[in-house]
């Protein structure tokens, strides 16, 4: 199993985006459930069809929430793995740069400000950090960490 550093770290952003999308889906279902509830409150005749619709939406909402919980757990575990892998880096500036960019999802401008470097210098340091991480991702130590977090 071989990983490219940028693709490996990019999985954090992808998982984060999936969680955000799932949260938006839950908000839409929750809003629909509230709309159905207010419709039921306004109608005093036959409730059976509307009650069933509400029950279906509540079940769907619960399923979406469970899915979100699983994705959040996966993201937290993966961030822990990445953090442990980054601890293997010799250069603490490289480690911090990658943590800020990939774990904290900070912008290049903010990272440059934190380091008091120009954006161009940060891009250069980023390439160097990824090269160092590429070497770590080929190591036995990485495989041990990865296996621990993927069990």
pLDDT at residue 44 tops 80: no
In the chain, domain spans: 5-150
pTM (predicted TM-score): 0.76
Which pLDDT belongs to residue 142? 94
Torsion-angle region of residue 116: left (phi > 0), alpha (psi -120 to 50) or beta?
A: left
- Please tell me the predicted confidence (pLDDT) of residue 57: 73
CB atoms within 10 A of CB 27: 11
Q: How far is CA 59 from the centre of its chain?
A: 25
């Amino acid at each position: 199993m071989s990983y490219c550093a940028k693709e490996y770290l990019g999985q954090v952003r992808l998982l984060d985006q999936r969680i955000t999308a799932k949260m938006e889906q839950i908000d839409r279902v929750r809003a629909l459930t509230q709309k159905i509830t207010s419709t039921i409150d306004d109608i005093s005749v036959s409730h059976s069809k509307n009650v069933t619709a509400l029950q279906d939406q509540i079940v769907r909402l619960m399923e979406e929430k469970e899915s979100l919980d699983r994705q959040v757990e996966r993201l937290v575990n993966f961030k822990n793995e990445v953090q442990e892998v980054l601890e293997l880096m010799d250069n603490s500036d490289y480690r911090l740069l990658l943590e800020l960019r990939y774990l904290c999802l900070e912008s290049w401008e903010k990272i440059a400000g934190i380091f008091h470097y120009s954006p161009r210098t940060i891009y250069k340091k980023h390439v160097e950090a990824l090269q160092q991480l590429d070497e770590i991702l080929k190591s036995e130590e990485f495989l041990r960490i990865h296996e621990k977090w993927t069990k």
